[in-house]
C-alpha cells in the first residue's frame, strides 16, 4: 500500500464524518453530500476502524459524539474552514472586496433591502453576496461572513452583537377591518389569526402575544404558514390578522397597506442580532458591513 504523505485517513471518510458531526444527523449529512445515508455510515465505520476509536454513538433518535469524536470534529472544522477561506480568496483574487451575509426572506425583503441603497452608495468598492434562507442553521456555507438572526443572542460557535430590540403588534388590512371590526382583545382572540410556524421559528406566537396583552382565554382560529412573508401577504389580502414586528411592518403601516389592530403592543424578549464565527476573524469588508448594520439599529 502506498504511504500517504500526511498519514491521513480517506478524505471522503473525513468529509462524511465532519458533516455528520456538524449536523448530528446521518440523513441530513447524506443530503448535504448528495450520497445515501448508508454510504455515509459506511465511511464513518471505516474511519473508526482505521483509527481504532469510536467517534459516534448511535441512538434511536440520532447520533452524538464521543470525546474522541468531538476532538476530531473540531480539528476538521478548523481545517475545512481554513481551506474554504483560502480557496475563496484565490477564487476572488483580482476582484473587488467581497463580503457574504445570510438572512431570512422576511428580514431581507422587509428590513435589509430598503436600507441597502445607502450601504452601496457609501461602499461602492465592496461586493455583497446575499444568501437567503429561512433555515439559517442549515446553510452549508462555512465561509459565510455574517448572519442576521432573531433570537436571544446565544448561538453555539458564533459571536453576536445586537442590532435592535423590537415590539410586536397585531396587523390587518383596512378592507378586512371594514368587514370585521375588532374593537378589543376579546374580538381579536376570536378573529382568524395568521400564524407562522416552522423548525427555526423562535419569534413570538399568538398564544404568547395574547397572554402578554391580557386577552381572555379563547380557542384560537389559526391559519398556519411556514413563511412570514407569505403570512404578511395574506394579511394584506384581507385573509386575517398577523403579528407584526414594528421594525418590519412600520413601512406597511405608514403606507396604509396594513393597520394596527387594537392598542396592544408587546416588547419581544428576542431581538435582531448580527453574528459571525468565533473561529476566525472578520475581514475588513465584513467589519464594515457589520458596523453599518449595527448603526441601522441605532
Domain ranges of the chain: 11-86, 92-298
The whole-number pLDDT of residue 93 equals 56
The whole-number pLDDT of residue 184 equals 93
List average pLDDT for each run of 10 residues in the chain, which is 298 residues long: 68 88 87 89 90 88 87 85 71 67 89 90 88 66 82 88 95 96 94 80 85 88 90 95 94 94 93 90 92 91
The whole-number pLDDT of residue 201 equals 61
The whole-number pLDDT of residue 1 equals 45
Report how far apart, in Å, the C-alpha atoms of 18 and of each of 35, 56, 81, 90 are. Answer: 14, 11, 11, 24
Assessment of whether the complete model's pTM goes beyond 0.85 = no
CB contact at 8 A, 193 and 180? no
The whole-number pLDDT of residue 165 equals 93
Tell me if domain 11-86 and domain 92-298 are identical in fold: no
| The listed CATH number (3.50.50.60, 3.90.1150.10, 3.40.50.1820, 3.40.190.290) that belongs to domain 92-298 | 3.40.190.290
* CATH architecture, range 11-86: Orthogonal Bundle (1.10)
Angle at 7 between CA 4 and CA 11, to 5 degrees: 80
Report how far apart, in Å, the C-alpha atoms of 31 and of each of 36, 72, 80, 143 are. Answer: 7, 22, 19, 19
Amino acid at each position: 500500500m502506498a504511504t500517504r504523505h500526511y498519514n491521513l485517513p480517506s478524505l471522503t471518510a473525513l468529509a462524511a464524518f465532519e458533516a455528520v458531526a456538524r449536523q448530528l444527523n446521518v440523513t441530513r449529512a447524506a443530503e448535504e453530500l448528495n450520497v445515501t445515508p448508508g454510504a455515509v455510515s459506511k465511511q464513518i465505520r471505516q474511519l473508526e476502524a482505521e483509527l481504532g476509536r469510536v467517534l459516534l454513538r448511535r441512538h434511536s433518535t440520532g447520533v452524538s459524539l464521543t470525546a474522541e469524536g468531538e476532538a476530531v470534529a473540531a480539528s476538521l472544522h478548523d481545517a475545512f474552514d481554513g481551506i474554504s477561506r483560502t480557496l475563496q480568496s484565490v477564487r476572488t483574487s483580482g476582484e473587488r472586496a467581497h463580503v457574504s451575509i445570510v438572512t431570512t426572506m422576511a428580514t431581507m425583503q422587509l428590513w435589509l433591502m430598503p436600507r441597502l441603497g445607502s450601504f452601496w452608495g457609501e461602499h461602492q468598492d465592496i461586493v455583497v453576496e446575499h444568501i437567503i434562507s429561512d433555515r439559517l442553521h442549515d446553510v452549508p456555507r462555512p465561509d459565510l461572513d455574517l448572519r442576521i438572526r432573531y433570537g436571544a443572542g446565544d448561538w453555539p460557535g458564533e459571536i453576536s452583537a445586537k442590532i435592535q430590540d423590537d415590539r410586536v403588534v397585531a396587523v390587518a388590512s383596512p378592507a378586512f377591518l371594514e368587514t370585521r371590526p375588532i374593537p378589543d382583545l376579546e374580538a381579536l382572540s376570536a378573529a382568524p389569526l395568521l400564524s407562522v410556524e416552522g423548525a427555526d421559528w423562535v419569534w413570538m406566537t399568538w398564544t404568547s402575544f395574547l397572554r402578554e396583552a391580557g386577552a381572555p382565554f379563547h380557542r384560537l382560529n389559526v391559519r398556519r404558514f411556514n413563511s412570514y412573508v407569505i403570512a404578511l401577504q395574506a394579511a394584506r389580502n384581507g385573509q386575517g390578522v398577523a403579528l407584526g414586528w414594528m421594525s418590519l411592518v412600520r413601512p406597511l403601516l405608514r403606507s396604509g397597506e396594513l393597520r394596527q389592530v387594537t392598542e396592544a403592543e408587546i416588547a419581544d424578549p428576542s431581538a435582531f442580532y448580527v453574528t459571525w464565527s468565533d473561529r476566525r476573524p472578520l475581514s475588513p469588508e465584513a467589519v464594515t458591513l457589520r458596523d453599518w448594520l449595527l448603526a441601522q439599529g441605532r
